[in-house]
Structure 1
Amino acid sequence: MEDTLKQALPQSTWSEPGCAAFDFRGDVRTNPTLDMLNAMAHASLSDGVATSDPTTHELEAYLAKLTSHPAALFVLSGTMGNLVALRSLLTQPPYGILCDSRAHILASEAGGAFAFTGAIPRPVEPANGVYLTLEDIIPHIVLPDSATVHMCPTRVISLENPLRGMIMPLSETCRICDFAHEHGVLVHLDGARLWEVVSAGAGSLEEYCSLFDTVTMCFSKGLGASAGAIVVGGEAVIRHARWIRQSIGGSIRQPGPLSAAALVAVKKTFGAGLLKPTHEIAQEIATFWEGCGGTLKHPTQTNMVWLDFTGLSFGLRQMIDEASRRGIFISRDRLIVHYQICSEAVSTLKQLMADLTSGEEPGK
């Protein structure tokens, strides 16, 4: 089918990764594939608001089963997924959300989860600099069964895994979730890139997701779909989440094509093992950077490489500009290797690192 589509659409932007093959700016820079286009062309076109679309039902059922949860809900983005999930868990104020101080819901999603829920954020910094532990959380959590009337009880702990490409081990996740549930606190997982954690061998989707009351996972981060995310949870929570999604304008009339592309992304990018090689390439780049005299801000555990320019004779701006001249895309001190990055881009990046760290003038 893919060869037939290539012949029929020789100039289609869906045919090849194109510029995405040279783009280290993010794992949302991938191009959707011809398989996704074909799935979209054959998707059902029923009403998503009325919950009558078969393709979307198929996607939701597949993800619910994959994560060992009773129900799932398709949403348009990971940001929307976190907002919908958290609002569905918080039913009666006063309430607070405890999260990592670097979490997306606090630092990168325009404050929507807190603005919409009215929850009080309680950010916590991990002592190990990598992931939160139960020991980090206990001094900061306000347990509902012991809080005084002067304090805002913590109703939800929101974890993120991975965070900045770093993995929270399954064992520590179990400790935190078990403690929370023992004390009547619900737990949400921002698992936008949880696919990477699983691909790294840290645990299965079922092992991680079954610990949480709600989980959000994104289809455009790493998997290659152009849009969409999933929220999984219990029947009652997802029923309420559907109501919340509608209230913020997140329901659409014909979600089938987006759901179809997402299903292909999960089965063919994640399911076929296309993410693990990106971790190996990221580690290769990180090791090369260190060999050139650079250092890393964070350990490379999945597909992210965090560059530290301390002590070097050049900075990020010079690297961005020279990368652009050489035909690769960088925008910050974080490099992300996605599954459509080509070997030529990796070679160009490594040569750039070698030239800059050796003091070689650009163009020589």
Structure 2
Amino acid sequence: MQHQGTNILLGITGGIAAYKTPDLVRKLIAKGANVRVVVTDSAKEFVSPLSLQAVSSNTVSDNLLDKDAEAAMGHIELAKWADKLLVAPATANFMAKLTYGLADDLLSTLCLATAAPITIAPAMNQQMWHAPATQHNLNQLMDRGVQFLGPAQGEQACGDVGPGRMLEPQEIADLILPDVPKLLLGKRVLITAGPTREDIDPVRYITNHSSGKMGYALAQAAQKLGAEVTLVSGPVTLSPPSGVNILKVSSAEQMHTCVMQNVKNSDIFIGCAAVADYRPIQKNSQKIKKSDQELTLTFVKNPDILSDVAHLANAPFTLGFAAETQNIKQYALGKLQRKKLNMIAANDVSDENIGFNSEQNALTVFWPEGELKLEIADKNILATQLMELVAKRYTK
């Protein structure tokens, strides 16, 4: 087993999805992990500590002020024991507590006391997930390196339909303990991610809505498949993926220069960045003052990174992205042929539930001999699916 001996500390909070956690424990143990469980008081309303003890073969912890445990500083011992801390399900309340560093129960205290990476599988009503406070907390936690698995779309216990369902136990187990064949072992992958910024003057610039989440997820997925990954990133607020060489740029010209300097050593190139098509022909050295009723700016085309890479004499296997709002297949196939790409992944950014700034995406992937639709999923799951497809097409 790839994960034999990995210590997983599973935190369970008070959501209806807690009834699935005994199955989650079994799925984690089946992958070779050692699992210890911490439950909040509200979680015990949905799942029995006795059932969790039976499937994990370990005592379930639930009390920060347990005299016997605290005689040996139990919460510190648990925090040090964990290789990974997984909270599933994670309620909106728990996300808020973690965001603001509260430590009023055993689970929240462990989150502050551990050096292990923290992963969260949210579960809540779709309106609660969309609430500005929850989205603020989500962004704050992601900035700190907390990884999110889901939530998934679908029908909820309350009858609503939308994002908020906890991922299924097998999905969570596969994501936190991926059994990844090293399909890209020894291969060098160059990926671009995020937006670019085109300066107008010292205080203003033109950009787009790209968050960089898909490109960063692809970099992590490629690394897990055994590749040596270099990520050329525009300005984003994401934490760098572990084990990935990151090169930060701002403008389209800077990204073009950085890519062309590194692509000669690459086997695969993935252009996932949302690169500005145009830039102001001239950047004003001083702030433009408000004076006339109208302001005219003249723009010039930026270099086409994707096309320039694909047209190299010894071009790497090249995957492009097409973010469209209409005629998805037509525009994607046109771009595939015009730029001489090996593959292109197209997505509909007019759908507010996927694409830019969303935790989820859906893609249709085209290549000269065929196509494949990747259904809506968490971007980390989708990135793994896409990288496995790239690896298979590359070997052919």
For the criterion TM > 0.5, the same-fold answer is no
Structure whose CA Rg is larger: 2
Between structures 1 and 2, the one with greater helix share: 1
User: More strand by proportion, 1 or 2?
Assistant: 2
TM-score (normalised: structure 1) = 0.28
Larger RCO: 1 or 2 (CA < 8 Å, sep 6+): 1
